[in-house]
Amino acid sequence: MTKFSDLNLGPKVLKAVAETGYETPTPIQAGAIPPALEGRDVLGIAQTGTGKTASFTLPMISMLARGRARARMPRSLVLCPTRELAAQVAENFDTYAKNVRLTKALLIGGVSFKEQEAVINRGADVLIATPGRLLDHFERGGLLLTGVQIMVVDEADRMLDMGFIPDIERIFSLTPFTRQTLFFSATMAPEIERITNTFLSNPVRVEVARQATTSETITQSVVMFKGSRKDREASEKRALLRSLIESEGEKCKNAIIFCNRKSDVDIVAKSMKKNGLDAAAIHGDLDQSQRMRTLAEFRDGTLRFLVASDVAARGLDIPNVSHVFNFDVPSHAEDYVHRIGRTGRAGKLGTTIMICSQRDERNMADIERLVKHEIPRAEGAVTSAPAAEKPAGEDKPKAERKPRAPRKPKAEVTQDATAPQEAAPDQKEQASAEAPDSPKDTQSKPAARNRKRGNRSGEQNKGSRSNDQNKSSNPQNATLGDDMPSFIAKSFEDRM
């Protein structure tokens, strides 16, 4: 049986490996480390959970032990699709390079640019980055890739799914042609094949297991689900998930629940918390510090259930995960392989359960076609969902309405109101005399004003008619020419 001491690794690296408790390499490690130490390009194809990270970290540390990096010019580059995977690779370097003087830099989103620039300016032997943040630093002029001697692409198929292939091709063009390339992937899509043919030079192909195969240590099953009504389907599906967790009992020590959409991740996590299950969400929209804190809590056992999107499905090495629940059937068949690969790692046993609704049957058929075997249906597969979640306020008792006091009839009210008025008629007359602005009076005021206006207009009309009659009866006052004053006919001298 091959041991790490048979792989020509440096003594300081072997010491660090022994301190971690590993003695025997995995098949991908035994096949990839020797050609990598020889300086050849390596194309590694293996299912997740087989130790691909150590397949490139160990030979890199041995080869980079000699020499030092210059400012802004890293000696090696490791590209990862997600922040979490990049941080995990950085932890592996810290573990295996603790006896070697190597500097590293981690370039991921969610961290200050200035802090990362300060590390790059001091010089980094190993640069671990996501493609987007790496290109951001390069375009700002803070990074040169002309000194890269070893380039690693980890989880290349995930890079393809996330649309990073154009960025990968650009980064390849920025590195020297003489670099050594280590390329690792769990599946081999045609686009990945094209990139390897373009950028790898006569690589050693190390294929440990058939492409897109699942580990034999994982017990797989699927539960067929059908909601009672469309508007209750989502809540009934969450209730089914909780019942599956309860049915596993003590065997379910911890679990990762995968959802296709980020919004569902939050909803499922809140639903589990509400029903007394210790759960937290992790997806790409959360702050980086919160994501790392949640992963740390799940790793050390303080958090039992991790509800995640596929951002946590690729490459993350979380030990001792007993169960994986697929709340949704993955849209891409390859994602199923990576999801269930979070359990049953390093030869340990694991259990995966997937919930499949009617609209997901086509995706499930694609998965079975990819893994080349039928996923067992759970015994007593659910065809009708259990009781759905009750709305937030449904359990609260409804407040009883107090009976209203009976109202008195209007006739009695009017009699009661008019009784004191009839009892004192003198007071009524006195009040009406003293209060001229009562509602009855205010209603009669407009009519009185109209009558006054009518009287004035009538008087004016009468006056105009009497003037016309006077003019017609007295012809001398009709016009000025009819009765001309005598002084007008006099001359100016006579007037004087």
Closest to 56 in 3D by CA, of 85, 83, 84 = 85
Tell me the angle at which helices 165-174 and 131-139 cross, rounded to the nearest 10 degrees. Answer: 50
Residue 313 three-state SS: coil
Residues contacting residue 431 through CB under 8 Å, at least 6 positions apart = none
What is the pLDDT at residue 489?
Answer: 63
Q: How far is CA 297 from CA 278, 279, 300, 338, in A?
A: 11, 11, 5, 22
Q: Which of 207, 234, 260 is the last residue of a domain?
A: 207
Number of CB atoms found within 10 A of residue 159's CB: 25
C-alpha dihedral (337, 338, 340, 341), degrees to nearest 10: 110
Give the pLDDT band (50/70/90) at residue 162: confident
> Is 435 a residue whose pLDDT tops 50?
no
| CATH code of 57's domain | 3.40.50.300
Grouping H, G, I as helix, E, B as strand and the rest as coil, residue 367 is: helix
Are 52 and 190 spatial neighbours (Cβ–Cβ below 8 Å)?
no
Q: Is 372 left (phi over 0), alpha (psi -120 to 50) or beta?
A: left
**Region 408-429 average pLDDT:** 47
Please name the amino acid found at residue 70: R
**Domain limits for position 323:** 218-371
pLDDT in tens, 7-62: 999 999 999 999 988 888 988 999 999 999 999 999 998 876 678 889 999 999 99
Same domain for 222 and 203, yes or no, is no
Contact 185, 111 (CB under 8 A): no
Residue 456 domain-assigned (yes or no): no
Q: Answer yes or no: is pLDDT of 119 > 60.
A: yes
Same domain, 224 and 202: no
Residue that finishes a domain, picked among 207, 229, 253: 207
Q: Which two tokens stand for residue 182?
A: 């280590």
The yes-or-no verdict on residue 173 having pLDDT over 80 is yes
- List, for residues 278-322, the tens digit of each pLDDT value: 999 998 788 878 888 998 899 889 999 999 988 655 656 777 899
CA distances from 52 to 49, 62, 133, 175 (A): 8, 17, 23, 23
For residue 256, give the amino acid letter.
I
* pLDDT single digits (tens) 247-285: 998 899 999 999 999 899 999 999 999 999 999 999 878
Please tell me whether residues 111 and 250 are part of one structural domain. no
Express each pLDDT in 143-152 by its tens digit: 999 999 999 9
What local confidence, expressed as pLDDT, does residue 290 receive? 87
Length of the chain: 496
In which order are the strands placed within the sheet that holds 104-107? 104-107, 126-129, 76-79, 150-153, 180-185, 42-45, 204-207
Residue 20 CB partners (closer than 8 Å, separation 6+): 95, 96
Any domain includes 443: no
pTM of the model: 0.63
Q: Are residues 33 and 90 in the same domain?
A: yes
CB-based burial, 271-298: b 16+ in 10 Å, e otherwise: bbeeeebebbbbbbebeeeebbebbeeb
Last residue of a domain, one of 371, 386, 406: 371
Residues 177 and 247 in one domain: no
Asked if residue 160 has pLDDT above 90, the reply is no
User: Looking at the structure, do residues 27 and 74 belong to the same domain, yes or no?
Assistant: yes
| Residue-level pLDDT at 406 | 64
* Shared domain check, 227 and 158: no
**Residues β-bridged to residue 205:** 43
Structure tokens at 200: 């790898």
Residue 149 CB coordination number (10 Å): 19
Residue identified by tokens 């995640």 is: 308
Question: Per the structure, how many domains does the chain have?
Answer: 2
Based on the fold, state whether residues 199 and 223 are members of the same structural domain. no
Note whether 11 and 145 are same-domain residues: yes
Tokens of 245: 């967790």
DSSP state of 401: P
Answer with the residue of higher pLDDT: 420 or 313: 313
Task: Determine contact, residues 25/322, Cβ cutoff 8 Å.
Answer: no
3-state secondary structure 407-442: CCCHHHHHHHHHHHHHHCHHHHHHHHHHCCCCHHHH
In a domain, 459, yes or no: no
Residue 334 has a pLDDT of 80
